[in-house]
Structure 1
């Protein structure tokens, strides 16, 4: 039994560094491709995670991300900033990485 493929989805978030990230765009198929093309055009890092997109696509445009996803999105935003060479004030990218326990709880 063949099931049709799920539509390609994309979402866009805006983060000002003060408030929780907000959903600013979402779409399937052609609109998803347009969102991704616009991100590429403006050198916005793209993070692919289909399950996270499905969760966030349920939100309404302008909604802030739910508190349960703060840590996940914070790690993605931090990674995107590092890709662009941006770091928080006082952070030394040359210092040794801090080890932390990543054991699931």
Structure 2
């Protein structure tokens, strides 16, 4: 997720989720050039990048490898559904199946 803060600096937070974990975790975060590298790497790997200013602000307060707090479960779940629906493996995105 990305956002450009009031000073014009780009912010980025990367989350990862595995079925064996209780909640998604922050795996990368940064400002400026580091944020641009996070975004570039995500795009290179085909990972969807979403601009969510308020959410990025909240996630930037977490430590690396920290699980998201329960109060953010709903919004993160909605983003995961959005990403899943955009993925080519979703049968709804392939009219020939």
- TMscore range, shorter length: 0.7 to 0.9
Aligned to 2:60: 57
SS in 2 for 1:13: strand
- For this pair of structures, how many residues does the alignment match? 87
TM-score using structure 1 length: 0.75
Stretch deviating more after TM superposition (63-72 or 16-25): 16-25
Per-residue deviation, 1:82: 1.0
- The structure 1 segments of at least 4 consecutive aligned residues displaced by more than 4 Å after TM superposition are none
Q: Alignment RMSD, CA only?
A: 1.9
Per-residue deviation, 1:17: 2.7
Where structure 2 has 5 or more consecutive residues not aligned to the other structure, the ranges are: 1-5, 93-97
Residue 82 of structure 2, aligned match among 64, 73, 79: 79
Higher helix share: 2
Where structure 1 has 5 or more consecutive residues not aligned to the other structure, the ranges are: 94-105
Aligned to 2:37: 34
